[in-house]
Structure 1
């Protein structure tokens, strides 16, 4: 199977396997504020990742590219959506275009459709500095994601089996690239231990990419004769991964992604420490099922719902939202207790 055929397979299986709703975000409940002292007009959705300023905390996270005409059209549609909504967009891994120049158009179309927007390049942690520079130049990108996907590669029949030296390569990218380097997981979560190592490298941001959304182990298992089913339930759920990384005393911004489906999920992620939230699966499904205009309307509705929820909590900014009291229960509470994280502090914030 060619790399382009595999990219198309990923889209097909991502749509068919769906999202598991195993993020543990349902274990978070806000303390109701009967006197919120807020209003619609006083709420600001603006956020910041290093020097990158977002008008809304949501962005279109990495999905596709490198699969010929089909992925070119998908990326063109996503780019027009990001332009219309003035939100950032990340592309899928550009290694396909690095290795085959015929696939460059499936990524370059993003900058063509959104000439003034915030575009984020994407490569795996195996990337060299030269490859990363080519990926950035290909899109005139404002930043680059370096994705970590060990479990996907191990499950992929033709995947990598050697993951040595990733940290040193990431450090070299941070030191030699002229754009911010964001490190993201691809659906299995970032632990506290991994976050500490990445923060020591001075990455611009960490995208926790938690378990509970599109499951690339399940997708790759669909392509295997002998299934590695033990990887289908592997990983740190999004809520747990995000809280783990916030326990480290650092100013490095955190991005939430992994199974986030609606405005309440987004508000919960922001309240437990995210500065921005990446959406992928829910946007892909809406785009494929209902089209470009419907996807734009869905994002508009999400922004309206975000404002509504922040008014109800008396939070006029994301910084204030991160002081909203909330209750953590269920599997998330048990996990955090085992990891030595005191959940009482969340319940008594002011």
Structure 2
């Protein structure tokens, strides 16, 4: 089976609604919201551009006939719901032009969409630009996935040039760059390294959703590395780490987002936008395109009500919402000297 098809099949097989660290984030309720729902906007701003929703379809797939049809469906969903969309890694198309159409289909389907091309951190600048040119991407998403590569039987083993290559790419490509993890989260130290080389937009992409160590371990003959199935920092913890960095940058959150309430909590923790992959893929594969569109439109309506519930009329004001952190998230904050009252009394 094509490796990209294997990833899709395993992601669907492993997908399940389960508790994650978003459940450790509790809102402090105040009884007088003081806003009019009709005045609420859930729009957000990225790359000096306004988007009607504070969430988007994040990187998933491409590279085979099956994934071409999935990307076509995802682009139709993005168009129907007016969402930004990222493709999966286009490395397959850079190596084999015969699968280019599994990625270019997103631009053909959604010609006016804001679309992101995705490549790995070990890619040279020329490949980064080729990925952008493949379907006239509006921005470039560069993924960090060292744990996945190490568990992947045929994965990379040399990471010495990653940061250097990232710095060159950020300086030379002609579109905005997002650097993202693939579900292992980030630390403040990692974020500072990225800021030091000129990165301005970071997707902290934590654990809690699709686990690529679990997927790659399932592809190993002995499946002996199951202890890494849930490796890494959660999205909640990664956002808390990001907030400890004393430098301005744009935060994106993804990983373990199950519904509108998780999107909302991520925005309250400082994300400007929230990416969804596994939840949308599972909806598409199990319920179909029309029901996926209906669900996303329901989330958009729910977010308007959630903003009003906490007395905020726009996305940028959600960081005023007081939050109480408990359980493993609280333990992490105490161990990493993240002051809890910063959130509970804001």
TM-score bracket relative to the smaller structure: over 0.9
Query: Which residues of 2 match residues 153-168 of structure 1 at below 5 A?
Result: 153-168=149-164
1:292 Cα shift?
A: 0.9
**Which residue number in structure 2 is paired with residue 145 of structure 1?**
141
Question: How many Å separate the matches in 2 of 1:297 and 1:199?
Answer: 38
**Which residue number in structure 2 is paired with residue 26 of structure 1?**
23
Q: Does 1:333 align with 2:315?
A: no
1:52 Cα shift?
A: 3.5
Distance 1:147 1:19, change over 3 A: farther
Question: How many Å separate the matches in 1 of 2:74 and 2:17?
Answer: 24
**Which residue number in structure 2 is paired with residue 213 of structure 1?**
209
Q: Does 1:59 align with 2:52?
A: no
Q: What SS is found at the alignment partner of 1:131?
A: helix
What is the root-mean-square deviation in Å for CA atoms of aligned residues? 1.1
Are 2:208 and 2:230, in contact at CA under 8 Å, matched by a contact in 1? no
Aligned length: 345
Are 1:62 and 1:122, in contact at CA under 8 Å, matched by a contact in 2? yes
1:22 Cα shift?
A: 5.3
1:300 Cα shift?
A: 0.3
Q: What SS is found at the alignment partner of 2:89?
A: coil
Question: How many Å separate the matches in 2 of 1:66 and 1:265?
Answer: 30
1:23 Cα shift?
A: 3.7
Question: How many Å separate the matches in 2 of 1:143 and 1:348?
Answer: 37
Deviations 1:124-162 (A, max 9, x none): 001111111111011111101000010111011111111
Q: What SS is found at the alignment partner of 2:328?
A: helix
Question: How many Å separate the matches in 2 of 1:148 and 1:54?
Answer: 25
Unpaired runs of 5+ residues, structure 1, are: none
Runs of at least 4 residues off by over 6 Å:
none
**Which residue number in structure 2 is paired with residue 170 of structure 1?**
166
Query: Which residues of 2 match residues 72-151 of structure 1 at below 5 A?
Result: 72-151=68-147
Question: How many Å separate the matches in 1 of 2:157 and 2:219?
Answer: 17
Query: Which residues of 2 match residues 257-336 of structure 1 at below 5 A?
Result: 257-336=254-333
1:59 Cα shift?
A: 0.2
TM-score (norm 2): 0.98
Name the stretch that deviates more: 232-241 or 16-25: 16-25
1:72 Cα shift?
A: 0.7
Q: What SS is found at the alignment partner of 2:140?
A: strand
